[in-house]
Chains A and B, each alone.
Chain A
Amino acid sequence: MTSADTTLAAPPAPPRGAPRGAPRRVSAHARRQRWGWFFVAPFSAVFVLMLVVPLAYAFWLSLQTKTIAFGSTFTGLDNYVKAFTDPAFLEGVWLVTRFSLVLIPLQMLVSLVAALVLDALTSRFAAFARLMMFIPYAIPVVIGALMWGFLYSPQFGPGAQVFGLFGLDSPSFLAPDSIFGSLVNVVTWQWAGYYMIILFSALRGIDPTLYEAAKLDGAGAFQTAIRIKVPLISSSLVVILVFALIGTLQFFTEPQILRAVASGAISASYTPNIYAYSLAFSYSQFNYASAISFALGVVVFLFSYLFLFLTRKRNGVF
């Protein structure tokens, strides 16, 4: 569209807004478009320095291996071969995959149900519930994990007390076989409110006359929710799914903090990010850590790009 404007306005008559007499090779319109570069230049500089260069450098580092005897030597894709046959790394990948499969449906269900209920109510109590549900978003992930860590802990937490009311022993939330569920709970608590608000705003954007029509057709509240509301906010659902996926695959802070309280339940290679961190800072294996970071980045990127592409009819991003 714009290119058509430019060609039309080009040589014969000078464009209307331009001062007369000045011979122009390019029209003022086309010339003006160059201002775009002026506006994007500062961001581009940061983009190149803080994203492109580090990624390129990490890739370069990941192609080398440093040994005490030989220094840095070029070893090609050896580090990647090593990573994808390294049980510690693969277990981490498997963990975040399982984690996404459990967490994301749960989180979306909680936030969707809450948003639907809150959308149907207009009481002050509902507004208060909405605010309380959203508060965890204002709390740093570190503090969220820390609070839950204390709540889970047998010394500090209310576990014994609460379960004692029912005459039960408190489950040990920080034991190796229950830490997975405990982490799912921390993340759900932290983010469900944020997702709920996104869905809630989307629900508020729906034209209420649609509900009238549904009601005339004899649909109940439940049917209206399932048949009308959910399909109409599907683009928001896709978006939070992608957010949740990107977030989960780079899982780091919560397990890293809970490591400090749950001795032994969370290993130094629990998730790929924790593994990369330990490799770099406990073992000084920066080349191998770079390979893992780079591999993680590429995998997450491909997953989310593919996902957005497959759901492009729904998400409105492409």
Chain B
Amino acid sequence: MAITLSTRPSGGAAQKRRQTPLDAAKRRGSEPGTTRSSRALTNLFLLALIVYFVTPLWWLIVASTKSEAGLFGGTGGALWFDQDFALGANLVELFTADNGLYLTWIGNSFLYALSGGIGSTVLAVLAGYGLAIYRFRGSRVFFAVLLGAVMVPLTALVIPTFVLLSEVHLTNTVWAVILPSLLNPFGVYLMRVYAFEAVPTELLEAGRMDGASELRLFFQVALPLLRPALVTVLLLSVVATWNNYFLPLVMVNDPKLLPVTVGLGQWLSLSRQGAAEAQVWNLVVTGALVSIIPLVISFLALQRYWRGGLSLGSLK
């Protein structure tokens, strides 16, 4: 079975007429059947959506301003502030608990997310470009295998990889988290699809006429063209590594090597099972809030890239 790729946006037939002067302006001008009441109805629907999606975050913000006692029996209820505003005290306690263990976790999360994210993106760009541009022996088979690998559930690899790495005494080191995070078949797939469209063969041929080496063509001709997809794959893999829980949970148990996701999970079960003095509910909540700040900021700041990237993520 030949594997060919259609990268055309869905709605293939519509494509030809794409360039007609009727465009976005038209879309805006006429929303069919817009009446005052239906508009109110849709806005109400959107409001409900916003409330649903924001409530947990609102709760988190409010709860992180509460002391341990305020969390259990505050004056304002669960969704409003307590009379005792303890955010400052919580933050101080968070960053000083266990000799600043929380900061170590955040640092580890950055280490894992950046090294895994950057590493896997470099591998993906190289491999995606190689697959898109060259027809080497076995490239078709390679692509078929890659497509299959996209569908292998990564969590099913965690325990096998743990057993393997423990044979070579790499578990409970940073490598046990970083090395498996370098594997990103989906990133290669995205880069392959994108490079196929974005790098014209004529341009490479012209470069070859001028005597440019294949490496130089990659760095100076292709790489700038691949930048949008590169940013997308980088963002997707950094976020995936930052959010990963199962892998570091299995791979490391030294508290100093944990990323913040696993660390908070441990504080949570400690608070659940532990005696009263071991309970750190306020730290779990404040720690959760602080840990999502970097991603939410990068997210809002890089909105443009996210939007472009996600349509790419839909494979079209």
Contact = CB atoms under 8 A, between A and B. Distances in A.
Given A252-B155, A305-B148, A147 B60 contact: yes
A40 interface: yes
A219 B4 CA distance: 36
B160 A290 contact: yes
Contacts of A39: 126-127, 129-131, 134, 218
Given A281-B250, A301-B148, A58 B159 contact: yes
B35 to A, nearest CB: 10
Contacts of B208: 17
A197 interface: yes
B139 interface: yes
A235 interface: yes
B254 interface: no
Contacts of B129: 39
Contacts of B275: none
Contacts of A129: 46-47, 49-50
Contacts of B151: 242, 246, 300-301, 304-305, 308
A132 B33 CA distance: 27
Nearest to B51: A132
Contacts of A134: 306
B10 A235 contact: yes
B200 to A, nearest CB: 16
Contacts of A249: 153
B123 interface: yes
B53 A135 contact: yes
B46 A125 contact: yes
Contacts of A273: 155-156, 246
B72 A155 contact: yes
A133 B295 CA distance: 15
B117 interface: no
A146 B264 CA distance: 9
Contacts of B4: 318
B142 A252 contact: no
Contacts of A136: 53, 56
B292 A53 contact: no
B311 to A, nearest CB: 3
Contacts of A140: 242-243, 245, 261, 291-292, 295
Interface in A81-134: 114, 117-118, 120-122, 125-126, 128-129, 131-134
Given A39-B126, A129-B49, A209-B20, A300 B313 contact: no
B153 A36 contact: no
B53 A133 contact: yes
Nearest to A209: B22
B313 to A, nearest CB: 6
Given A143-B291, A201-B307, A132 B50 contact: yes
Contact of A316 (B57, B242, B291, B315): B315
Contacts of B269: 260
B6 A316 contact: yes
Contact of A235 (B124, B281, B313, B316): B316
A280 interface: yes
A283 interface: no
Contacts of B149: 47, 51
Given A40-B142, A53-B164, 13 more contacts: A35-B134, A40-B127, A136-B53, A142-B262, A142-B265, A156-B281, A201-B307, A201-B314, A207-B18, A211-B32, A220-B33, A239-B314, A252-B155
11 contacts: A50-B180, A117-B45, A139-B292, A149-B268, A151-B56, A157-B78, A158-B77, A273-B156, A286-B163, A300-B152, A300-B156
Interface of B: 1, 3-11, 14-15, 17-18, 20, 22-24, 26-28, 30-34, 42-43, 45-47, 49-50, 52-57, 59-60, 63, 71-72, 77-79, 122-124, 126-127, 129-131, 133-137, 139, 142, 147-149, 151-164, 179-180, 182-183, 185, 188, 208-209, 214, 218, 239, 242-243, 245-246, 250, 261-262, 264-265, 268-269, 272, 281, 284-285, 288, 291-292, 295-296, 298-300, 303, 306-307, 310-311, 313-316
Q: Which 7 A-B pairs have the closest CB atoms?
A: A39-B130, A36-B134, A201-B311, A58-B160, A297-B156, A36-B136, A207-B14
Interface of A: 2-3, 17, 32-40, 42-44, 46-47, 49-51, 53-55, 57-58, 61, 114, 117-118, 120-122, 125-126, 128-129, 131-144, 146-151, 155-158, 161, 189, 193-194, 197-199, 201-202, 204-212, 215, 219-222, 224, 232-236, 239-240, 242, 246, 249-250, 252-253, 256-257, 260-261, 263, 273, 276-277, 280-281, 286, 289-290, 293-294, 296-297, 300-301, 304-305, 308, 315-318
